[in-house]
Chain A
Amino acid sequence: MASAFDRIADIIAETSDVPRETIRPESHVIEDLGIDSLDFLDIVFAIDKEFGIKVPVETWTQEVNSGAAPASQYFVMENLTKRIEELVAAKSGG
């Protein structure tokens, strides 16, 4: 099976107008890839379905807006991938 990064990058490319080859581990989905909030919600819906999880976007957004966490923690591709992997592991009890 493809890596979590590749699966997420494929979803972003299929859901938005971002060319797949421009999506790299260091890419910031908002600042580098130009994903807006509406497209990001479509991406989250696709990730929820693909991985069978519920990405806690509201909590992430609150943490970033309050300064409790840097945006890069959730919105840089390699970190986003880690967060998704953590959610999958938590769901499976692993």
Chain B
Amino acid sequence: MQLEYFRMIDRVVSVDAGAITAEAVVPEASPVFEGHFPGHPLVPGVLLLETMAQAAGYLLLARLGFARMAFLIGSKELKLRRFVRPGERLSVTARLVHEGSGYSVADAAITSADQRICEVREMKFSLQDFPAPELAGTMRAQAARIGLGT
């Protein structure tokens, strides 16, 4: 993970039409920890949500053949069960719940050593044409970096 660059997913472990499992390792040091919190570094809850959203986003991009971008537009319920500290190895899973017209819905969760860390239900994504060609290229490059076929 490179928290300050919003690169949350390190490696895709498995992916199929309806689900993805990915790995993310929290860095030992990050500028984020300088503020969150001094003397007590924790991954911010919003970045755990972002991590789950990115896993679901990669699942949707793969389904879409990287023809469109998935933008997070809401979620129904978020539970943050415990703190996540530097150096932790996280398993991130996301599952497609519904595929609508121009939007998709997914559930996601993060565990570490089989211990539940957080879950989010019914993340909604708006599926839109890439607003800029460089974004499409960047997403393909990011997907290749984490082992997701494009």
Q: What residues of chain A have their CB less than 8 Å away from a CB belonging to chain B?
A: 38, 41-42, 44-45, 48-49, 54-59, 61
Q: Is the CB of A55 within 8 A of B101?
A: yes
B124 within 8 A of A: yes
Secondary structure of the B contact surface, majority rule: strand
Contact with B101, one of A38, A42, A56 (Cβ below 8 angstroms) = A56
Q: Could you tell me the distance between the alpha carbons of A38 and B124 in the complex, rounded to whole angstroms?
A: 10
Give 15 pairs: A residue, B residue, CB < 8 Å, sorted on A: A42-B74, A42-B124, A44-B100, A45-B98, A45-B100, A45-B103, A45-B105, A49-B98, A54-B100, A54-B101, A55-B100, A57-B100, A57-B101, A57-B102, A58-B102
B73 within 8 A of A: yes
Q: What residues of chain B have their CB less than 8 Å away from a CB belonging to chain A?
A: 73-74, 98-103, 105, 124, 126
Q: Could you tell me the distance between the alpha carbons of A10 and B4 in the complex, rounded to whole angstroms?
A: 43
Q: Could you tell me the distance between the alpha carbons of A56 and B101 in the complex, rounded to whole angstroms?
A: 5
Neighbouring A residues of B73 by C-beta, 8 Å: 38, 41
Q: Is the CB of B126 within 8 A of A41?
A: yes
B92 to chain A, nearest CB (A): 23
The 8 lowest CB-CB distance pairs between A and B, nearest first, are A58-B102, A57-B101, A58-B101, A56-B101, A48-B100, A41-B103, A57-B102, A54-B101
A18 to chain B, nearest CB (A): 18
Q: Could you tell me the distance between the alpha carbons of A1 and B101 in the complex, rounded to whole angstroms?
A: 27
In this complex, the member of A45, A49, A54, A61 whose beta carbon has the largest number of chain B beta carbons within 10 angstroms is A45
In this complex, the member of B74, B101, B105, B124 whose beta carbon has the largest number of chain A beta carbons within 10 angstroms is B101
Q: Is the CB of A38 within 8 A of B102?
A: no
